[in-house]
Structure 1
Amino acid sequence: MQIHKKERLAALGIIICTLLWGAGFPALKAVEELPAFLIIAVRFILAAGFLSAVFYRRFRLINRTVVKNAFILSFLIFIMYVFATVGIRYTTSSKASFFSCLGFVIIPFLNWLLYKQKLSKITVISVLMCLTGIFLLSYSSDMGLNFALGDIICIGCSLSGSLQIVFLDRMTKDERNDPTLLSVLMMILIAIYGTAAVFFTGAWQVRPAGFDWGVLIFIGVCCTAIAYLLQAVGQKYVPSTRVGIMCALEPASGAIFSAIFLGDHLGWFGWSGGAVIIASLIFMEAMTARKAAKEKEEQHAS
């Protein structure tokens, strides 16, 4: 299979991943009465069990490098969930949504700071479009210009999520890291962290009802196991900067799914924000494809 075809399929996989994460918003709303750490523990226990059962033969590929990287990535993902859970308690919902979804802005600068990657014009325009879209999507009368403690904590959520994407980009390029095995180990480790948090906070005393279990299974298998697997495999072929912009689809799809399934009111600002985010993704992919075709023509000409 040609490299550009693999890249297109990988990009599609990451887009599906972000749509699954978006679908997790209304699903989480349906079980919001359950303790946050209980939800985290159960979703990752289910994800770990599902992926381990499907890909158990991958465990023969285990090595020190993949275990070390799984520890790093799993810690960043778990911290991201903790920041998101705690941050929203100290700020408004709209501001939490905005500041928790700034990864697409942070990732290009992390790549520049850590790996000296230049910011392309396509990236800058796409990031600005995404920033506008997220602001419109999150906008409400209580947005304000003042920073609350929760806003800073939610930025920590964006930063840890961005670091996970940037590091995963490098790790999947290393042949010692099998992306599927890396995903399985990440799920297992986060399940362990989550279970420890459940016992530490006393959340284990809560018993989910039958409906809750149905929702948790959907979150664990689809929004966690399959989504993170698609991300890990996809990032082997798609640069982290593009992945960050694709991930801006998560809050957009989450808002749209919430409007469809929960009857949430988006309003013109919300729908406009979602449209701008989708437009930024189309712009980035179209311009990237155009740039690749131009480079190919120049290579043939020379």
Structure 2
Amino acid sequence: MKIKSSLTADLSLLLVACIWGSTFVIVQKAIQFMPPHFFNGVRFFLAALLVALIGRKMTRLAPSKRSIAAGVTLGLFLFLGYAFQTVGLLYTTSSKAGFITGLSVMIVPLLSIWILKEAARKTVYAAAAVGTAGLYFLTFSGFSSFNQGDLLVFCCALAFALHILFTGRFSGQHDAWLLTIVQLFTVSILSFSASGLFENVPDAGKMLTADVMLALFITAFFATAFAFFVQTKLQQYTTASRVALIYASEPVFAALTAYFFAGERLSSAGIFGCVLILSAMLMAEWKPARKKESIVSH
């Protein structure tokens, strides 16, 4: 691994985490005018078109039934994650949503143990305990601030954790571009379907405000199409553990953006909860170094 390529990959993925974290505020403003599921449908449709245009030049492989099925499975988890997150933003704050969503980094090792039957590590269980405590301080500060938005965003974290888990399972078996294109179109179709079932979509004139247009542009092209392109293209130059640690910075960017642009303030207990959650993310990805063999063969 070249140091220059590794540094470029890490900085690019840090930019992705920054983009993802900063979108909580603009999405929260946009869904006041455009229903959440409809917003996600438009966002992922635009992103899927762009990635499809790029992917057509990146791969010549024809999609198989297995790759389509894998992409649809990933798309289902991705849809659930964004659906819970976007609807949850109607009822909770951007900063709290960012940290609760970040719990997915901690949940992944737990699911790996239970679903993939990987060897259990004490640090994973310790991280789960610390993360649970952090979630308590963040959402139950004063015993009156917990709401349905926090619960919806926690369900989002579970869905994103499953998406990460199964992405790891499928990525080595199928072309990354095909998986990305199929799952993005799947999210779009499911989002439009959910919107038709559960939402009353107003006239375009009422929805297409400046906040909505800005949110669609940033989330579709930067937070989705660009982010997936960067992750697919550059993750090969770094390690999975470093990627997870980089993505753990996403809620920090969410909180900073909410502080400067939305005027959100966390209580002292809430800030302490955020610190515990970040600590849990780092603990979940920490693996003790193996002891070197002390006997040298001659």
Relative to the length of structure 1, the TM-score reads 0.75
Q: Is the CA contact 2:36–2:86 (under 8 Å) kept in the aligned structure 1?
A: yes
Residues 1:23 and 2:22 aligned together: yes
Q: Taking every aligned residue pair, what percent have the same amino acid on both sides?
A: 24
State the distance in 2 between where 1:238 and 1:18 align: 16
- Distance in 2, matches of 1:300 and 1:224, equals 50
Alpha carbons 1:26, 1:257 under 8 Å: kept = yes
**In the alignment, is the contact (CA less than 8 A) between 1:80 and 1:160 conserved in 2?**
yes
Q: Encode CA deviations 1:36-65: one digit per residue, 9 max, x unaligned.
A: 122111211221122223332235223323
Q: How far has the Cα of 1:280 moved from its partner?
A: 5.2
Q: Give the match for residue 115 of structure 1.
A: 116
1:181 match: 178
1:222 partner letter: F
SS of corresponding position for 2:218: helix
Deviation at 1:26, TM superposition (A): 1.0
In the aligned structure 2, how far is the partner of 1:155 from the partner of 1:272? 18
The AA in structure 2 aligned to 1:205 is D
Q: Is 2:50–2:225's contact at 8 Å kept on the other side of the alignment? A: yes
Deviation at 1:255, TM superposition (A): 1.6
Q: Which segments of 5 or more consecutive residues in structure 1 lack a partner in the other structure?
A: none
- Using a 3 Å threshold, how does the CA distance of structure 1 residues 21 and 104 change in structure 2: closer, same or farther? same
Structure 1: how far apart are the matches of 2:76 and 2:268?
Answer: 38
Could you list the per-position Cα deviations for residues 16-38 of structure 1 after superposition, in whole angstroms to 9, with x for gaps in the alignment? 43332211111112213121122
Give the counterpart letter for 1:172 in structure 2: S
Q: Is the 8 A contact 2:70 2:170 kept in 1?
A: yes
User: Could you tell me whether the CA contact under 8 Å between 2:106 and 2:280 is conserved in 1?
Assistant: no
Matched, 1:170 2:182: no
Match of 1:190 in 2: 187
Shift of 1:87: 5.7
Taking the aligned partners of 1:77 and 1:142, their CA distance within structure 2 comes to: 31
Cα distance change on mapping 1:144 and 1:262 into 2, 3 Å: closer
Query: 1:81: how far off?
Result: 2.6
Shift of 1:68: 1.5
What is the correspondence of 1:1-302 to structure 2 with a 5 Å cutoff? 1=1, 14-33=13-32, 34-58=34-58, 60-64=60-64, 65-85=66-86, 97=97, 101-142=102-143, 154-174=153-173, 177-200=174-197, 201-203=199-201, 205-206=203-204, 207-231=207-231, 238-239=239-240, 247-279=247-279, 288=287, 291=289, 298=293
CA contact (8 A) 1:252 1:277 kept: no
CA contact 2:130–2:280 (8 Å) conserved in 1: yes
Task: State the shift of 1:111 in Å.
Answer: 0.9
Q: How much has 1:181 moved relative to structure 2?
A: 3.0
Deviations, residues 179-219 of structure 1 (Å, cap 9, x unaligned): 23322222122122223334443426343124421221011
Question: What amino acid is the match of 1:217?
Answer: F
Q: C-alpha displacement at 1:103, in angstroms?
A: 2.3
CA separation in 1, counterparts of 2:151 and 2:276? Answer: 25
Q: Distance in 2 between matches of 1:281 and 1:102?
A: 7
> What is the identity, as a one-letter code, of the residue corresponding to 2:257?
F
The 3 A distance-change label for structure 1 pair 267 and 93 is: closer
Distance 2:245 2:133 in 1: 13
3-state SS in 1 of match to 2:263: coil
Q: State the alpha-carbon separation in 1 of the partners of residues 5 and 119 from structure 2.
A: 24
Cα deviation, residue 169, structure 1: 0.9
Specify every segment of 5 or more residues in structure 2 that has no aligned partner in the other structure, as ranges: none
Paired positions, count: 290
**Greater mean alpha carbon deviation, residues 68-77 or residues 248-257:** 248-257
Any conservation in 2 of the 1:162–1:244 contact (CA below 8 Å)? no
What SS does the corresponding residue of 1:170 show, helix, strand or coil? helix
Alpha-carbon RMSD: 4.0
After superposition, the C-alpha distances for 1:230-273 in whole angstroms (9 at most, x for unaligned) are: 4556777755x876666543333212211022221134344444
